[in-house]
C-alpha cells in the first residue's frame, strides 16, 4: 500500500508538469504490481480543486472517476486521525505542516504504511511517524 499526497496526483494529470513522467511511472508501476494507492479524503479535495483550477472540469472529473473505478482508494478520516493531525500540526508548527500533509501522515500511521507518494520532500523528510522510522518517499527520484 502507498498513501498518496497531492503533488504526484496533480502532476500525473498535467503533461507540462516537470514531475509528470515520474508521477505517471510511479502510479503505472504500482498498478501493475497490484499495489493499493490510498488517498486521504483531504487529498481528494485538494487535488480536485487544483485540477479544476489548472486543467479544467474534465480533468477533475477524470480524477474523481478514477476514485469511483478504484484506481485510487479514497480513505475517510476518523476521530483518532483528526487528533493525530492536530498533534502533528502543533509539533511541526515551524514548518508549517498543514492539514493535508498531516492527514497523509495520520492515515499512513493508522494503516501502518511506510511508503508515501509525494513531491513534498521539505515536510516528509522532517516528520517522523510514531514508529520513529522515516517514510519511504516515492517517486524516489524527482
**Residue ranges at the known binding site for Mg(2+):** 5, 101
Residues 55, 32: Cα–Cα separation, whole Å: 27
Contact between 124 and 116 under an 8 Å Cβ cutoff? The reply is yes
Residues 103, 19: Cα–Cα separation, whole Å: 22
Residue 6: count other Cβ atoms within 10 Å of its Cβ: 24
Residues 112, 121: Cα–Cα separation, whole Å: 20
Mark the binding-site residues, compressed into ranges. Answer: 5, 101
Q: Which residues, other chains included, contact 8 with Cβ-Cβ below 8 Å and sequence gap of 6+?
A: 19, 22, 23, 26, 27, 117, 118, 119, 138, 139
Residue 41: count other Cβ atoms within 10 Å of its Cβ: 15
Amino acid at each position: 500500500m502507498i498513501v498518496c499526497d497531492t503533488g504526484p496526483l496533480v502532476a500525473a494529470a498535467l503533461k507540462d508538469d516537470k514531475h509528470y513522467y515520474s508521477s505517471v511511472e510511479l502510479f503505472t508501476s504500482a498498478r501493475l504490481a497490484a499495489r493499493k494507492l490510498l488517498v486521504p479524503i483531504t487529498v481528494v479535495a485538494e487535488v480536485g480543486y487544483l485540477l479544476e483550477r489548472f486543467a479544467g472540469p474534465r480533468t477533475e472529473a477524470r480524477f474523481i472517476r478514477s476514485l469511483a473505478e478504484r484506481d485510487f482508494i479514497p480513505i475517510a478520516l476518523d476521530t483518532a486521525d483528526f487528533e493525530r493531525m492536530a498533534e502533528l500540526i502543533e509539533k511541526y508548527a515551524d514548518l508549517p505542516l498543514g492539514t493535508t500533509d498531516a492527514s497523509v501522515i495520520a492515515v499512513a500511521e493508522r494503516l501502518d504504511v511506510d511508503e508515501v507518494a509525494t513531491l513534498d520532500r521539505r515536510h516528509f523528510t522532517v516528520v517522523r511517524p510514531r514508529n520513529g522510522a522515516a517514510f519511504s518517499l516515492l517517486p524516489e527520484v524527482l
